[in-house]
Amino acid sequence: MSSGFYNLLSFIDNIYETYENIQENHENIRNIRNFRNILNIRNINGDYNNNKHIISNISDIFKENKENENKEDNISNIISYVVTNYVNSINDINNDINNDINNDINNDINNDINNDINNDINNDINNDIIKKVKKHKIIKKHAKKNIQQINYIQNYNNLVPNENVKTIELIIARYNENISFLNNEQFKNFKIHLYNKGPKITDENIKNNPNIIIHKLLNVGKCDHTYLFHIIKNYNNLADITIFLPASYFYLQKKIKNANKILNDTLNYKKSIFPVKKLGRKNYQSLYNFNIPFFKTSLKANQTLGNNKSYKTKLSPIRPYGKWFQHNFDKNIHKDIYNCDFVIYTGMFSVYKEMIQKYDRNLYKRLIKYVNTDINPEAGHFIERIWACLFYPFDNSLLFLNKFV
């Protein structure tokens, strides 16, 4: 508190001290009045002059106390005024204190709220920025990947058919599928090699179709064995373009669109067609540890036959995929294979004979040995992942992104 306030308190103490003296004079006045009444001058016995001195003294005293009484009234008014102002001052001080406290509390609350809001806003902004940066990096990464992909994927507009292509053959790998779809108009322009590894074909239209040649094979190695068997057997007599398809494609939604594109574009543009997935060197190298000890075929019709009920694969004698790859391909001889980072999944593509004949038939003979003894060989999935690289760098070919894997 200020020094002025302490001076006010000291002044009030002096007033109260004066007030106590006045109270004492009040007591004297009451005593004099009582004495005056007792004396009752008009009834006093004795000479008036003898009592005049006493009366004079009493009057003086009375007069003095009357003045003190007036002073008392003034002092009382002063005290009342001072006390009132004192109380008002105290109230003002309390109000100021309360206002200061309330202002401080409100300011603290507002500051806390503002800080919380600012922190939330900043956090939201920072999180948004982080998300946008991450999204930008992802987009940039995919953009870079797509740009690399575009270097290989040619535009389908205004393509000139390859006039050097005279013959196109279609290879169908069948197990237990209904193959009546081969009677459709779409297949009338193809010479078809139908490799059957399942039940006997009973469709008379197919059996009597001069454009369809039926080959019976043992049920081993799935479609990869079928493709290798055809390449090895016809290595020197391959069509200008060979289309490879599993018969199951017609019944699997994720395959039929790609298969129809391969069939139609190969026929229209007379070019090899590859539905590829570009992994990039780093991701392709991550395939090194790939292995697949269990595999269940996609089509239910093909799950009902065969003696393998557990879906266990016959493990490759050399595994995982990376070791198998290095064992079968030499960096000096197969440079393009080592530079490739594409994969063809789902076992569907069309290819120039020159691409197949780029490597000696003995390479295909070596590969077929991994898939010629079991219905569900693990190495078949290794071969599936090497088809694209066998034909890389896709000269004068059409590629499109395989969106279904």
Quick: pLDDT tens for 369-404.
999 999 999 999 999 999 999 999 999 999 988 765
Q: pTM of this prediction?
A: 0.63
d(CA 340, CA 329): 13
Q: Which has the closest alpha carbon to 337: 355, 312, 310, 313?
A: 355
Give the three-state DSSP class for 213: strand
Lowest mean pLDDT segment, chosen from 28-42, 85-99, 274-288: 28-42
Q: Among 228, 202, 210, which residue's Cα sits nearest to residue 362?
A: 228
Gap between the Cα atoms of 388 and 105, Å rounded = 73
Angle at which helices 3-39 and 48-150 cross, to 10°: 160
Which whole number is the average pLDDT over 114-135? 69
3-state secondary structure of 392: coil
| Sign of the CA dihedral with 253 first, then 255, 261, and 266 last | negative
Give 152-187 pLDDT, tens digit per residue.
455 555 578 889 999 999 999 999 999 999 999 999
Q: ω into residue 210 within 30 of 0, thus cis? A: no
Angle between helices 321-328 and 361-368 (to 10 degrees): 150
Transcribe 130-154 into DSSP letters: HHHHHHHHHHHHHHHHHHHHHTT--
By mean pLDDT, which of 71-75, 246-250, 271-275 is the weakest?
A: 71-75
CATH number, domain 168-401 = 3.90.550
Which of 55-69, 229-243, 260-274 has the weakest average pLDDT? Answer: 55-69
Instruction: Say how far apart CA 367 and CA 346 lie, in whole Å.
Output: 18
Q: pLDDT over 70 for what percent of the chain?
A: 61
Identity of residue 175:
Y
The pLDDT of residue 39 is 47
- Ranges of beta strands (E only) in 63-125 are none
Radius of gyration of the chain (CA): 56
Distance CA 238, CA 244 (A): 13
Give the H/E segment covering residue 102: helix 48-150
Residue 351, phi then psi, degrees to nearest 5: -145, 140
